[in-house]
């Protein structure tokens, strides 16, 4: 019996063991993506950057999206980007678990969106644990913030600079700190 494709299993949140017979495909895909990422990060024309990002994500990137490169992505095909999104310099997206960025989102410099992690137990640590990140409409992710796997950022919410977000953020709040906590309502 043939197992389901590893990328489909990642999208469904299946933990991938290092002994998985398809595990090598993640590394191969990352190197293919890296080639496009290098081209994108060398481009200066916004249209060319969007076109290359579209190839990386295998989706159409709307002309209202602006990306200030460099942008680092390990896979790309599990990232979905809405309209009127702004992604500033030097962000990192690990998207094997899935990343959804809705319309109107602002992402400041050095933001990390990490939809992948590893188990705490040392004997299982080489396994990959995917869990999607969802950033809802009009959210603003401050500089050098880190959003961990499985987190949803609510509509209109703000993540303060330097925060580490490990739990869902409701709509219309400002969160900050390590770990991020609600600072105030908007």
pLDDT (tens digit per residue) in 143-163: 999 999 999 999 999 999 999
> What pLDDT is recorded for position 1?
41
- Note the pTM of the prediction, 2 decimals: 0.96
pLDDT (tens digit per residue) in 21-45: 999 999 999 999 999 999 999 999 9
> What would the mean pLDDT of 58-62 be, rounded to a whole number?
97
pLDDT (tens digit per residue) in 69-78: 999 999 999 9
Strand, coil or helix: 100: strand
> What pLDDT is recorded for position 45?
97
Catalytic residues: 118
Give first-to-last CA distance, the chain, whole Å. 53
């Amino acid at each position: 019996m043939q197992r389901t494709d590893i990328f489909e299993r990642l999208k469904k949140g299946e933990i991938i063991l290092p002994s998985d017979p398809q595990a090598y495909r993640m590394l191969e895909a990352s190197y293919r993506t890296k080639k496009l990422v290098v081209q994108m990060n060398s481009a200066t024309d916004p249209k060319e950057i969007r076109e290359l990002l579209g190839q990386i994500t295998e989706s159409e990137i709307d002309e209202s999206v602006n990306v200030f490169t460099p942008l680092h992505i390990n896979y790309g095909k599990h990232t979905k980007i809405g309209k009127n999104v702004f992604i500033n310099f030097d962000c990192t997206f690990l998207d094997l678990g899935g990343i959804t960025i809705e319309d109107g989102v602002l992402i400041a410099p050095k933001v990390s969106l990490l939809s992948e992690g590893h188990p705490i137990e040392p004997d299982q640590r080489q396994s990959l644990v995917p869990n999607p990140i969802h950033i809802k409409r009009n959210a603003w992710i401050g500089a050098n913030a880190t959003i961990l796997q499985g987190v949803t950022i609510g509509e209109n919410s703000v993540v303060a600079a330097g925060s580490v977000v490990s739990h869902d953020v409701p709509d219309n709040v400002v969160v900050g700190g390590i770990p991020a906590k609600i600072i105030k309502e908007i």
